[in-house]
Amino acid sequence: MNSGLRNDLVAFDGPLAGRTLRSLEPVAGGCIHQAWSLTLDDGQRVFAKTGGSDAMALFSVEVEGLAALHAHADPELLVVPRPLATAQLSHGAVLLLPWLELGGRDQHALGRGLARLHRASAEASPGRFGWQRDGFIGAGPQPGGWRERWGDCFVELRLVPQLNLLGSLRDESQSLSVLLERLKDYLNRHDPAPSLVHGDLWAGNAGSLENNSGCLFDPACWWADREVDLAMTRMFGGFGADFYNSYENEYPMANNSDERVEIYNLYHLLNHANLFGGGYLQQSRASLKRLAQQLI
């Protein structure tokens, strides 16, 4: 694989045509694709993500999301890498990105930067919720489309497609349709401003650089309630008090935002249940039961 990838990258029609590739080393951490550290002839380091030929669809959506985040991010606080190239190769597909030197321990800039991104994008939003094309949440589908009201968008474009894929939960719950209508009504009354969200904001897709600037990558962007990003940061941990305090000081959350954490993270539980099964199916079932007890 290394030699084939190396040859594809520096081929005359490859993304690094005319360059010399000093080294090509695998990098740990990728769940869906393989990750690589490239060192070029001038010492520049590049991050490469590779996959099969079907990975090009995921890469094109990722490029679009990174460009959207970059357009609204404050570069003094938050680094969003600008893709260098995507290419279809004889051995699959590749996405090239600038190398980010992670390792900072301070999350103040990450929190402030995310808050500023949410606020700046809300001020320039399309005034509706959704995204212009079908995309992905991890390896799962994330349908495109638009809705004028937030509850309609979240239920119809996020929860229902996942539940349709996970048919067993639909079969088990006679009250599911009632719950979905209650969720839709509750979120419509919440009525947030559309913000550009990262969409898959767990600790593996964000970090701090060595200079303590924040950084975001691997997005699943859409226009949504900004609370969906903050909710997901609580699913798997990795975000400290400095992150949350800095966000809150920059762009305070609604007093009742905690009420919606489980609603918003249900989307990710259902997606994980579809992708991985196991305990995520049980967690999804338990979450639906708790929400039904609260809303029905």
- From the CA atom positions of the chain, what is the Rg in Å? 20
Residue of 224, 234, 282, 228 whose CA lies nearest to 260 = 228
Q: How far apart are CA 161 and CA 270, in angstroms?
A: 10
Residues with catalytic function: 200
Q: Hey, what are 100's tokens?
A: 């980010």
